[in-house]
Each structure stands twice: as structure tokens, then as C-alpha cells.
């Protein structure tokens, strides 16, 4: 931990260093939170991007009623920090994993996604052994064609079978309509979201018609929540990464600003039109979205090897020198944060906090 840097100027940081602009971060949280409050939909932000209990608690203070995780090991970190309402939005399969989750249910009110009876039975057996009662949430395929049971009769039957189990609780349903974010036209994207969620919500009504309560209907990431949260029947959204104002979300029209950046040092100027920096793929993964270089208007292209970033300029310049520092606005936080041990939180140019990313590397 580098808490000794608190109170110092940003220039005291070694590079690469992952920075959060506190004012912008809080502004983004308020934008998302205010939108959801207006629509009357609960917020269960996904924690897979930020990896930080400090941020998770900040979101709870801002009105979130729980969090979403990707893995049981992530959930363990957040439960240890005092968070109690946690949804693991993935299938947790096999005796090693289900026993681990059942034990975690001693510390927190855990919900976990299932999409078949076999997995539900595994959880029931593990819960019986541990003496706990985790919630099972049925993941429904809304068109992304990743995990998830088909909507309709199959979903209703699975809900009935879960309700009949003795050691788990039926928690509701979830889906992720992520495929709709590839629709470029905003109006067509909005319609695609409605079309994707319609069969899911019809399944919810069918489950309720069978006399089964559906407490959770969880959908919506940052790229879709402004539409999803306004659809009748949706109880909560999982939008989380948008708090950083990633470029991929701003490109979808989400009204957030960039709060996350990588401070880097120029290490070489081998040509007047090329800048080499000390951050490569071990500092950020540009696969989903390239970062944006602040203060350089003539960037033509960027590429990354393991330890180096290469910035090619459209015209020669002597303005950037070896030892200068640049800030790269992160394109997609999911593919950067997990590579760093902490965030350096800035108020202006002063380091005001250091927030560890305790949940990084938690892959099980």
C-alpha cells in the first residue's frame, strides 16, 4: 500500500499509476443514481470493473441496495468488507465451488445465477451440508446466446423445481441484454432492448401465475440501463462500469465523464512522429477500446506490447520529451483495473486517497 503518498502532488507518483478523479467519479455516480431514482428502479451495480470495496461502499452510500459480482472469490472480498446483499451473476458449478458458496452464505445474503436443474441440485446439496440457504436466481437468455435458459415454459418449470428444494430459496430471475449495445442507432437500440426483455418479463408473469413470488428481476448494464430501468417489471439494474465514464459507454450516449486514467511516462522518442511510454498490455488491455491520450491532438494510432505503448503521431513534434508524463483516459475499465493493485484518488492534483483493488485476481 502507498498511503504515504496521500496529501502529495500527483507528480510524486511512480508510473504507470491508475488514477481516479474523485469529483468526476462522484458526478458519474450521481448521474446514474439520479436516473434510477427518477425511474423508481433499484441499483445493484456490478463490481467486476472496480474490484474495490472502497468503491462498493461508496455506491451503497449513494443508494445502491446491493452489489453484483462475477465470481464467488470476489464476493468473499466484498462480504469480508461488510457488504451483505450480493448477487453472483454467473453459474457456480461443481462441488468445490458450490460448497465454497454455501459457506459464504454464512456471512452474507448470497444470490447466485443458475440455468439448469442439475446446478440447482448441486447448490441445494451444498447448502444442506453447510446449514445455509442461498438464493438461486434463474438466468434467462434474452438473445445474447451466452449462458441462460430459454424463456417460457423451461424457465417456469425450473422455477417450480427450485421452489420445491429444501435448502435454497428462489430469488428471482436475471438476464443481460448486452447484445443490444452493438445496435448503432439509438432508437433501434432502444427497441432491441424492449424486444429482448419482453420474453423474459412474460416468463416472470408466468412464474407469478404459477403462484411463485419473483423478488428479483435483474437486468441492465451501463450501456442499456437508461432504457431497461424504465421497463415495467424490471426491479433492479446492474450498471456498474459506467461510474468510470469509459469511452465505450460515452460512445453509447451515456451522460458520464471520464474519471479513470493511467498516468504514464515517456521513455523514448526514437522518431519525431513516435512516442514510447512505459505502459503496455501489462498495464491496460486495449482490445475492447483504445485509451485516449490527453493533451496530444495529433495521435494517429496506438499499439501496445507487453511493457511498451507506442503512440504514432500524424505530424512530427518536439513538444513531447523523454521524462514527460501523459494521461491516458481508459477505454474500458474492465480490462485495466484488474492489472493494478490500487487506485490513486485525486482531488485536483493532490492524492487524497489510495483505494486497494482487493478483488483483483479473484478468478474462482
Q: State the DSSP string of 235-261.
A: -EE---GGGGT-HHHHTTT------EE
Residues 148-196 have pLDDT tens digits of: 999 999 999 999 999 999 999 999 999 999 999 999 999 999 999 999 9
Indicate whether 90 belongs to any domain. yes
Domain count within the chain: 1
pLDDT > 80? residue 30: yes
| Cβ atoms of residues 264 and 319 within 8 Å | no
Q: Is 303 helix (H, G, I), strand (E, B) or coil?
A: strand
Average pLDDT, the chain: 97
Separation of alpha carbons 84 and 339, rounded Å: 26
Residues paired with residue 15 on neighbouring β-strands, in sequence order: none
| Chain length of the chain | 364
pLDDT value of position 1 = 53
Say what the alpha-carbon torsion angle 207, 213, 214, 216 is, to the nearest 10 degrees. Answer: -170
Indicate whether 16 belongs to any domain. no
Instruction: State the residue range of the domain holding 101.
Output: 23-247
Separation of alpha carbons 223 and 238, rounded Å: 10
Indicate whether 114 belongs to any domain. yes
Separation of alpha carbons 15 and 166, rounded Å: 53
pLDDT value of position 313 = 97
Separation of alpha carbons 309 and 295, rounded Å: 16
Provide the total of helices (H) and of strands (E) in the chain, helices listed first.
9, 17
Residues 41-99 have pLDDT tens digits of: 999 999 999 999 999 999 999 999 999 999 999 999 999 999 999 999 999 999 999 99
Indicate whether 180 belongs to any domain. yes
pLDDT value of position 3 = 72
Separation of alpha carbons 298 and 275, rounded Å: 12
pLDDT value of position 132 = 98
| Cβ atoms of residues 66 and 78 within 8 Å | no
What's the CATH number where 148 sits?
3.20.20.10
CB under 8 Å to 331, separation ≥6 — which residues?
246, 247, 248, 286, 288, 289, 290, 291, 292
pLDDT > 80? residue 214: yes
Instruction: Tell me the pTM.
Output: 0.95
Indicate whether 84 belongs to any domain. yes
Element housing 89 (H / E): strand 85-91
Residues 84-143 have pLDDT tens digits of: 999 999 999 999 999 999 999 999 999 999 999 999 999 999 999 999 999 999 999 999
Residues 321-348 have pLDDT tens digits of: 999 999 999 999 999 999 999 999 999 9
C-alpha distances in Å from residue 185, one per residue of 189, 190, 251, 334: 6, 9, 11, 25
Indicate whether 220 belongs to any domain. yes
Amino acid at each position: 500500500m502507498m498511503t504515504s503518498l496521500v496529501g502529495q502532488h500527483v507528480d510524486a507518483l511512480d508510473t504507470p499509476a491508475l488514477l481516479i478523479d474523485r469529483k468526476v467519479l462522484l458526478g458519474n455516480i450521481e448521474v446514474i443514481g439520479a436516473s434510477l431514482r427518477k425511474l423508481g428502479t433499484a441499483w445493484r451495480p456490478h463490481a467486476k470493473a472496480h474490484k474495490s470495496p472502497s468503491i462498493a461502499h461508496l455506491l451503497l452510500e449513494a443508494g445502491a441496495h446491493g452489489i453484483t459480482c462475477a465470481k464467488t472469490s470476489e464476493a468473499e472480498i466484498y462480504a469480508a468488507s461488510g457488504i451483505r446483499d450480493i448477487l453472483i451473476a454467473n453459474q457456480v458449478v461443481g462441488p468445490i465451488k458450490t460448497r465454497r458458496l454455501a459457506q459464504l452464505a454464512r456471512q452474507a445474503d448470497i444470490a447466485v445465477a443458475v440455468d439448469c436443474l442439475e446446478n440447482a441440485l448441486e447448490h441445494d446439496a451444498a447448502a444442506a451440508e453447510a446449514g445455509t440457504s442461498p438464493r438461486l436466481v434463474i438466468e434467462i437468455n434474452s438473445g445474447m446466446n451466452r449462458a441462460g435458459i430459454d424463456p417460457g415454459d423451461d424457465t417456469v418449470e425450473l422455477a417450480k423445481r427450485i421452489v420445491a428444494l429444501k435448502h435454497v430459496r428462489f430469488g428471482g430471475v436475471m438476464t443481460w441484454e448486452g447484445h443490444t449495445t452493438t445496435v448503432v442507432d439509438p432508437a433501434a437500440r432502444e427497441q432491441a432492448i424492449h424486444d429482448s426483455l419482453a420474453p423474459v418479463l412474460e416468463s416472470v408473469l408466468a412464474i407469478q401465475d404459477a403462484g411463485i413470488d419473483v423478488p428479483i428481476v435483474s437486468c441492465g448494464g451501463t450501456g442499456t440501463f437508461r432504457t431497461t430501468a424504465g421497463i415495467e417489471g424490471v426491479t433492479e439494474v446492474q450498471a456498474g462500469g459506467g461510474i468510470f465514464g469509459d469511452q465505450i459507454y460515452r460512445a453509447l450516449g451515456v451522460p458520464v465523464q471520464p474519471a479513470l486514467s493511467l498516468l504514464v511516462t515517456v521513455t523514448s522518442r526514437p522518431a519525431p512522429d513516435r512516442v514510447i511510454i512505459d505502459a503496455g498490455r501489462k498495464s491496460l488491455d486495449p482490445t475492447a477500446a483504445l485509451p485516449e491520450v490527453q493533451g496530444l491532438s495529433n495521435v494517429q494510432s496506438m499499439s501496445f506490447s507487453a511493457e511498451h505503448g507506442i503512440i504514432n503521431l500524424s505530424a512530427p513534434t518536439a513538444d513531447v520529451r523523454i521524462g514527460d508524463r501523459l494521461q491516458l483516459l481508459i477505454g474500458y475499465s474492465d480490462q485495466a483495473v484488474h492489472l493494478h493493485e490500487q487506485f490513486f484518488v485525486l482531488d485536483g492534483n493532490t492524492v487524497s486517497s489510495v483505494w486497494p483493488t482487493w478483488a483483483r485476481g479473484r478468478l474462482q
